[in-house]
Amino acid sequence: MALKLHTIICSTRPGRVGPAVATWFHDFANSQGQFESSLVDLADFNLPVYDEPRHPRMQQYEHEHTKAWSRSVAAADAYAFVVPEYNFCPSPAFVNALDYVYSEWNYKPCGFVSYGGVSGGLRSAQLSKQLVTTLKMMPMVEGVMVQMPWEQIDESKTFNASEHHESSGKAMLEEMAKWAQALKVMR
């Protein structure tokens, strides 16, 4: 049975380029054979600022948006977070989504496809790695960095990856598959 990867679009703002980058990575991940990738858009869950009365560790969710998000997160063996960089940080929507659930994230690997200006979102990815470790996830050292993605998106809103994006993505997916298989035992 194939490992399940969720490629998650971590920006919710209008005009975002995340869907184009995430669609490329989702298709790329499926073509590599280690994972069955599903494309997940945070915007589809419409999560307000955390509004559950109980700690997420208890998994006693009251709101339908939380229950839907919990089911989505729980269904994956690994995650590829497609993260923008906002003021050197991950998007508030992503941080909020991480905080919504706890046990569903535990003992799973994650990788980062970061994007932004000249830094390619690396600062956002680095801060995100610290965040995910508190949820008992294993962030990959390997990652995909996309500088100025808007310059690689054509008129049909398709992201045209370069060779270095693909080689970085392949390395990240190979490591994630090893970790996902190993961590399955802990779950």
Report how far residue 133's alpha carbon sits from residue 152's, in angstroms, rounded to the nearest whole number. Answer: 32
**Which pLDDT band holds residue 82 (cuts at 50, 70, 90)?**
very high
Closest CA to 35 of 3, 6, 80, 69: 3
Residue 144 belongs to what H/E stretch?
strand 144-147
In single-letter form, the type of residue at position 133 comes to T
Q: Assess whether pLDDT exceeds 80 at residue 74.
A: yes
**Which pLDDT band holds residue 18 (cuts at 50, 70, 90)?**
very high
pLDDT in tens, 48-61: 999 999 999 999 99
Residue reference for tokens 């569903």: 104
- Taken in order 23, 6, 69, 88, the sign of the CA dihedral is negative
Residue 138 belongs to what H/E stretch?
strand 138-139
Answer yes or no: pTM beyond 0.85: yes
